[in-house]
Amino acid sequence: MARDQGAFKLDHPWSRIGWISFAVIIFASYLLGFVLLSRYRQNDEALDIWSAICRGLGIAFDSGPAASARPPLHTPTTIAWTQATLNQIHAGDAQHGGFVALNCAACHEGSAANPAHLIPTLDGMEPEVIFKQLADYRSGKRSWGVMNAIAKALSIQDSADVGAYFASRTGQLLPNSGERVPQGGRGFWQSDTGARLVFAGDPKRGIAPCSACHGPGGYKVGAPTLAGQYPAYIERQLASFAQGIRHNDIYEQMRAIARQLTPDEMQAVAAFYGSQGRQLAAKN
């Protein structure tokens, strides 16, 4: 193959075709890739040519350390689901909790102080949920009316006890059955928006099915059961998560999901869960 020297001379036609094609391909693709396309990015202003070339090369000039100070670290909660925490919760004394819960009954049980049902019903709620929310109220990670003051008045042991008390009661909340077998009508083709979001979510928008954590079906520690909860309360909480008013969800998963929901969808999901528990209560 050492006999192809002629091929290197530019007056040789194939050599000319080869090198000109090379130059045209490289020039055109670099012009498009580095000078033109790298200038633009969705929701960003167009860059000057030098910055565009840097972006094209992968030099992250616009994502380096910012000149301003870093925003303070914000932790959504002080609770971590360690074995020690869970042991503490499960050691709660329901009898003493009943005494503590006399403080709760006025708002959470009677309807006189709760005409719009913006206060959740707690009978049948998981003890972990009540423990965590009280801890978040105590540390100011969640704010709502008198709850912060009440939580500060309770000891950590009181929180575990009151959680055990509410968990031991039966009310309109649907108990966690832990049942994982899917039933019919739980797919994407569901016409009811609420049921579709609850059982299938919306993967295109990154919305996980609510039921994966809140039941029916799947349960995650710290996520409250929702079947039978007041729709108005659920809807208000979704709106608060969406607007960032409430921000005590570990890993921001509720904020991320709620931001994606339209007001109609929040209402549909809330209505769906609201209808679940009452149906069961009626059957019983």
Partner 1 sequence: MYNSRRLALYHYWVAFAVFLPAVMLGAWQMLMRSPLPAPLDDPNAYYASVTLHGTAMAYVVTTFFAMGFGYAVTATSLGRPIRGIIAAWIGFVICLTGTLMAVAAVLSGKASVLYTFYPPLLGSGWYYSGATLLIGGSMIWVVLMIVNMAAWKRDNPGKPVPLAMFAITATAVLWAWSASGVELEMVGVVLPRVFGLTVQMDPGLARTLFSVTLHSIVYFWLMPAYIAFYTLVPQAAGGRLYSDTMGRLTFIMFLLFATPVGIHHLFADPEIGAGFKFVQSFLTFLVALPTLLTVFSICASLEIAGRHRGGKGLLGWIPALPWDEPMILAVGLSLVMLGFGGGGGLINMAYDMNSMIHNTSWIPAHFHLIFGGAIVIMYFAIAYEMWPRITGKPLCSKRLARWQLWLWFVGMFVTTIPWHITGLMGQPRRVAIFDYSDPLLAPMAPLVVISVIGAFILLLSAILLITILVRSQLGDSVLQAPLRYALAVNPPVKVPSALNGFALWNTILLMFMIVEYGYPIGQFFILKSSVPAYEVTRHSTAAGVQ
Between CA 229 and CA 122 the distance in angstroms is: 9
Q: What is the DSSP letter of 31?
A: I
Encoded one letter per residue, x for contact with partner 1 by CB under 8 A and - for no contact, window 12-31 reads xxxx--xx--x--xx-xxx-
Which of residues 34 and 144 has its CB atom nearest to partner 1 in the complex? 34
**Interface positions, 206-235, toward partner 1 (CB under 8 A):** 209
Q: Which of 181, 191, 282, 284 binds partner 1 (CB under 8 A)?
A: 181
Which of residues 14 and 251 has its CB atom nearest to partner 1 in the complex? 14
The footprint of partner 1 on this chain (CB under 8 A) covers a number of residues equal to 42
- C-alpha distances (whole Å) from 220 to each of 64, 126, 167, 228 are 37, 11, 16, 18
Instruction: Describe the crossing of helices 263-283 and 231-243 by its angle, rounded to 10 degrees.
Output: 150
Q: Hey, what amino acid is at 57? A: L
Q: Which two structure tokens, joined as six digits, stand for 164?
A: 């055990």
When asked if residue 39 is in the footprint of partner 1 (CB under 8 A), the reply is: no
**Is 154 within 8 Å of 261 (Cβ atoms)?**
no
Kindly indicate which of the ranges 7-15, 43-51, 122-130, 227-235 contains the residues binding partner 1, using the contact rule CB under 8 A.
Answer: 7-15
Between CA 126 and CA 149 the distance in angstroms is: 22
Residues that bind partner 1 (CB under 8 A): 1-8, 12-15, 18-19, 22, 25-26, 28-30, 32-34, 37-38, 53, 55-59, 180-182, 186-188, 199-201, 203, 209
